[in-house]
């Protein structure tokens, strides 16, 4: 018998898309599904960026250099310098989305079987990248009750073994929305210096901080060789489909290793680099509007959630996600029930169960991640659905288990 590889079996399904067949079935039944489950913003991609592609005079769509077009790398260096990250074009490798930056980082920093410390809950695809690169994720749990702030340093120290090679953080955080403070970032840097670890910093949501200043890993001093920033234009310019990211480090040996992985796939997408480069034409005030819009939505969502009986929800300082604890038995069951068995005024809501964001089994069972990527009116309607659903749901407290319909028939 022909077998799929063990790693093919071990690869997890995306926690965002696992419920898609149930959402499709709901739509078939005529139910409108509000999508709070994925981080696909509804903000328009800047027309000046799309126009750059339309106006590009391309005769042959050639491979770009493996590290990306030199002009785009220079533009990107200027962007970083403007946000206080002192890097040059040579420190930047253009990647196919932030995803590829994660892949290059794990491949270049860790050997098979090495350990990667990650505060949980964390972006679900990290698990997939760890399986693909044969790296072991060691989670350090952060808690909803503390707003998902950095866990005590002692929790990290306890996890370090001779196989620990790197620490991966995400700030502003997906899925929690937490923004690490400068003090927290400094603590992590010191830990990495002390134990000789790489500090991989996923900063996909850099522009979206609402309550405190953003601190990049490359804002920290004295640890340049340890730091890799993993970046993407997906959220920054609402250009998820472009697939343009960046692997940024001042560690030359690491940059050279990552460059060899970049050569393997020849080049990042060409048209999308033209699009990305045109971001330099945006006015300095570009993010003001987007941030203001997200902030209004965040406040609406948090206010509505906190008013629902039994719901706990810290105020996230950044990104466009809210993690909430619901008064239910099991969020996987609940999210499926929302799509299969519930509707309110012919509408329902699709959420992401948080279990896929935890590496520790059993954690996050009552938690969900909601993305505020819809306009306020749609968000309000989605939250109406959730409110009604929580009142109706058979498994709405831990004590009350949902009745199993087939068991009912049998008894």
* Calpha distance 103→176 (Å, rounded): 22
| Residue indicated by tokens 């071990």 | 10
Alpha-helical segments (H) within 325-375: 331-340
Q: What is the DSSP letter of 242?
A: G
Site for a copy of itself in 52-71 (CB under 8 A): 53-55, 58-64, 66
For the CB of residue 320, give the shortest distance to a copy of itself in the complex, in Å.
14
User: What are the beta bridge partners of residue 35?
Assistant: 350
Closer to a copy of itself by Cβ: residue 166 or 313: 166
Query: Which residue, among 384, 407, 404, 398, has the nearest Cα to 338 in the 3D structure?
Result: 384
Rounded Cα distance between 319 and 147, Å, is: 14
- Minimal distance in Å, beta carbon 407 to a copy of itself? 31
Which stretch in 2-10, 299-307, 377-385, 393-401 sits in contact with a copy of itself by CB under 8 A?
Answer: 2-10
Rule CB under 8 A: is residue 343 a binding residue for a copy of itself? no
For a copy of itself, the closer CB: 258 or 331: 258
Residues 215-254 that bind a copy of itself (CB under 8 A): 225-226, 234, 238-243, 251, 253-254
Residue closer to a copy of itself by CB (options 251, 325) is 251
Please state the φ and ψ torsions of residue 141, each to the nearest 5 degrees: -80, 130
Residue 45 found at the interface with a copy of itself (CB under 8 A): yes
From residue 171, alpha-carbon distances to 191, 202, 318 in Å are: 17, 6, 8
Q: How far is the CB of 235 from a copy of itself (least distance, A)?
A: 11
65: Cβ–Cβ under 8 A, 6 or more apart, which residues? 267
Nearer to a copy of itself (CB atom), residue 40 or residue 181: 40
Choosing from 35, 40, 155, 327, the residue that interacts with a copy of itself (CB under 8 A) is 40
SS3 label, residue 247: strand
Q: Which of residues 148-177 bind a copy of itself (CB under 8 A)?
A: 165
DSSP 367-395: EEEEE--S-HHHHHHHHHHHHHHHHH-TT
**Binders of a copy of itself among 250-309, rule CB under 8 A?**
251, 253-254, 256-258, 260-261, 263-272, 275
Minimum distance of a copy of itself from residue 52's CB (angstroms) = 11
Residue 141 contacts residue 132 (beta carbons within 8 Å) = no
100/329 with CB nearer a copy of itself: 100
Whichever of 262 and 382 has its CB closer to a copy of itself, that residue is 262
Name which of residues 88 to 117 contact a copy of itself (CB under 8 A). Answer: 96-97, 99-100, 103, 107-112, 114
């Amino acid at each position: 018998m022909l077998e799929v590889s063990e790693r093919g079996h071990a690869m997890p399904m995306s926690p965002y898309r696992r419920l898609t067949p149930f959402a499709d079935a709901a739509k078939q039944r005529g139910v409108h599904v509000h999508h709070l489950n994925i981080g696909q913003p509804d903000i328009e991609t800047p027309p000046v960026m799309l126009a750059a592609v339309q106006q590009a005079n391309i005769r042959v769509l050639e491979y770009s250099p493996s590290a990306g077009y030199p002009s785009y790398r220079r533009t990107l260096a200027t962007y970083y310098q403007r946000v206080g990250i002192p890097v040059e074009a040579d420190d930047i490798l253009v990647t196919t989305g932030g995803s590829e930056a994660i892949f290059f980082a794990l491949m270049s920093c860790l050997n098979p079987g090495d350990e990667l410390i990650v505060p949980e809950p964390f972006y679900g695809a990290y698990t997939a990248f760890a399986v693909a690169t044969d790296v072991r994720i060691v989670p350090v749990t952060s808690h909803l009750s503390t707003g998902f702030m950095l866990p005590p340093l002692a929790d990290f120290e306890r996890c370090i073994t001779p196989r620990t090679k790197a620490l991966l953080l995400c700030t502003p955080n997906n899925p929690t929305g937490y923004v690490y403070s400068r003090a927290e970032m400094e603590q992590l840097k010191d830990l990495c210096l002390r134990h000789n670890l790489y500090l991989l910093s996923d900063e996909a949501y850099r522009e979206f901080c609402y309550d405190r200043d953003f601190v990049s890993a490359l804002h920290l001093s004295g640890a340049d060789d340890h730091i890799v920033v993993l970046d993407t234009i997906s959220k920054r310019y609402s250009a998820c489909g472009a697939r343009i990211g960046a692997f940024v480090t001042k560690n030359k040996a690491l940059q050279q290793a990552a460059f060899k992985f970049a050569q393997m796939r020849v080049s990042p997408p060409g048209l999308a680099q033209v699009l990305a480069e045109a971001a330099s034409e945006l006015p300095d005030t570009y993010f003001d509007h987007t941030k203001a819009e997200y902030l209004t939505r965040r406040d609406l969502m948090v206010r509505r959630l906190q008013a629902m009986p039994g719901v706990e929800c810290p105020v996230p300082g950044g990104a466009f996600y809210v993690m909430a604890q619901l008064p239910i038995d099991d969020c996987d069951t609940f999210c499926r029930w929302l799509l299969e068995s519930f509707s309110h005024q012919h509408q329902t809501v699709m959420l992401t169960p948080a279990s896929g964001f935890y590496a520790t089994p059993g954690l996050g069972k009552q938690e969900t991640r909601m993305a505020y990527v819809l306009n306020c009116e749609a968000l309000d309607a989605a939250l109406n659905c959730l409110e009604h659903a929580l009142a109706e749901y058979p498994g709405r407290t831990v004590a009350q288990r949902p009745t199993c319909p087939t068991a009912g028939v049998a008894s």
